[in-house]
Amino acid sequence: MNILSNAIDALEEQYERCAKAGVEPEPGHIWIQTKPLNSDWVQIRIGNTGPPIPDDVRHRLFDPFFTTKPFGKGTGLGLSISYQIVVQRHQGDLTVESTAAGRTTFVITLPIDAEIP
């Protein structure tokens, strides 16, 4: 849920930037794609057309208490908790891809049949 919430925030941020600049914003998009990678793994991709994530921010996204949101709007815990759930709890992988063109995609890879501690 946090990844979707952040995608909505990114699109709203993009819309606000365009409005302040007096530019007509392009329609924003969020997509979710699932696919089996093989008989052992499934991949979930959650993407949006919001602003790109700079490299220095992207490398810290999953750090606890790291946020780019204004004071009082974000705690910096959402993505770190998402990471803990996917990676530590379910032995999966969570990465982010972001292009200069403004496509950001979170990639969740999970084992289909894993022992959960």
2-31 per-position pLDDT tens digit: 899 889 988 988 888 888 999 888 889 999
**Chain mean pLDDT for the chain:** 89
At 66-75, the pLDDT tens digits run: 887 767 676 7
Higher confidence at residue 105 or residue 78?
105
Q: pTM, whole model, 2 decimals?
A: 0.85
CA dist 81 and 35 (Å) reads 23
At 75-98, the pLDDT tens digits run: 778 899 999 999 999 999 999 999
CA dist 26 and 24 (Å) reads 7
Q: Which domains does the chain have, with CATH numbers?
A: 2-111 (3.30.565.10)
